[in-house]
């Protein structure tokens, strides 16, 4: 099996990717930033220990340390970046190191959201994020590095927690609806995104291709999500509508990173750019590529929320 390096393997998605990699039999390495004494994070230490317990090799290094990156990359066949948005531009350093080493069979940059080459005229804070991802894509292509680009759309557990707050007791009766609530989005469970990504990384069919994660059962509007939760809980939630005009205003007035968050919500749940295009001949769709994999539907995930509180979901904008 190919040896896989997860860059920022203790981050929001990185830990899922690392566990999926080792569970699929790949010798797995994670690159983590060296911790400063003042920044020791008990939750990160716990994740590191869990990764070690699963037989994952921990490498310490920084994206601004070229020699360190080169030494890490020499040990593996595939590199998957899971850096958060604030570190996206640092991936140019990763590209240079991969180009120098010359042994990498596949590089997957940190995207895992919308199909950025189809995002145009988003609200400026989110458009800037997408434009950075496009620059990374073009740099990879120009460097002649074998790649797979991933559009995983929306993180299911994150958005269920963000919209419905199943961890809060008592659960709030108000739910914010963005726009009219009818726009379709794609919600994929983080574990499934990770499992699909490891398969993509090892699959010769996906070399130098875009892979979109759009399983039919997980295409759903926010109103449909809320209604499904109401049926399961027997509760009626009070819908508080945030109109598009107010979202645009907030994107202009909120401080960073809140302006990015509201712009992402606008693009996904008002503009609908995850489902605004038909998949073309060149587009590969993950649930069709890997029909043997049983992904989790939104309906099934909400059932698990009824049985046990989901863990806190935090990600960086």
State how far the Cα of 22 lies from the Cα of 143, in Å rounded to an integer: 29
State how far the Cα of 119 lies from the Cα of 240, in Å rounded to an integer: 28
Burial-class residue 7 by CB neighbours within 10 Å (0-12, 13-18, 19+): buried
Reference 186, options 273, 315, 316; nearest CA is 273
Q: Residue 197: CA atoms inside 13 Å, Cβ hemisphere, count? A: 38
The residue assigned the tokens 């990717």 is: 17
Residue tagged active-site, from 74, 133, 184, 294: 133
Reference 18, options 143, 190, 160, 138; nearest CA is 190
Pairing of strands 184-188, 219-221: antiparallel
Sequence-distant (6+) residues with CB within 8 A of 299 are 217, 228
Pairing of strands 154-155, 78-81: unpaired
Sequence-distant (6+) residues with CB within 8 A of 122 are 130, 263, 266, 267, 271, 273
State how far the Cα of 31 lies from the Cα of 26, in Å rounded to an integer: 16
What would the two tokens of residue 127 be? 């458009």
State how far the Cα of 280 lies from the Cα of 167, in Å rounded to an integer: 39
133 is catalytic: yes
Show which residues are catalytic.
133
């Amino acid at each position: 099996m190919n040896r896989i390096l997860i860059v920022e393997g203790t981050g929001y998605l990185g830990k899922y990717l690392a566990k999926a990699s080792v569970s699929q039999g790949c010798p797995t390495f994670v690159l983590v930033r060296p911790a400063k004494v003042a920044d020791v994070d008990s939750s990160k230490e716990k994740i590191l220990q869990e990764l070690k317990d699963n037989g994952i090799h921990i490498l310490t290094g920084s994206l601004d340390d070229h020699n360190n990156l080169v030494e890490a990359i020499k040990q593996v066949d595939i590199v998957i970046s899971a850096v958060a948005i604030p570190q996206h531009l640092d991936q140019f350093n990763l590209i240079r190191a991969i180009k120098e080493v010359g042994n990498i069979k596949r590089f997957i940059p940190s995207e895992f959201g919308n199909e950025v080459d189809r995002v145009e005229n988003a609200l400026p804070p989110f458009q800037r994020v997408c434009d950075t991802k496009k620059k990374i894509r073009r740099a990879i292509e120009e460097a002649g590095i074998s790649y797979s680009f991933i559009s995983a759309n929306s993180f299911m557990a994150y958005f269920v927690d963000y919209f419905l707050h199943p961890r809060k007791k008592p659960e709030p009766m108000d739910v914010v609806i963005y726009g009219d609530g009818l726009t379709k989005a794609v919600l994929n469970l983080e574990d499934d995104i990770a499992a699909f990504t490891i398969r993509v990384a090892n699959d010769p069919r996906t070399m130098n291709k875009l892979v979109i994660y759009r399983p039919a059962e997980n295409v759903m509007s926010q109103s449909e999500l809320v209604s499904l939760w109401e049926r399961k809980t027997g509760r009626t939630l009070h819908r508080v509508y945030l109109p598009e005009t107010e979202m645009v205003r907030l994107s202009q007035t909120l401080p960073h990173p809140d302006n990015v968050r509201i712009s992402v919500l606008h693009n996904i749940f008002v503009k609908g750019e995850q489902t605004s295009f038909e998949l073309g001949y060149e587009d590969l769709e993950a649930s069709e590529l890997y029909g043997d994999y049983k992904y989790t539907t939104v309906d099934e995930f909400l059932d698990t929320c009824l049985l046990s509180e989901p863990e806190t979901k935090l990600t960086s904008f």
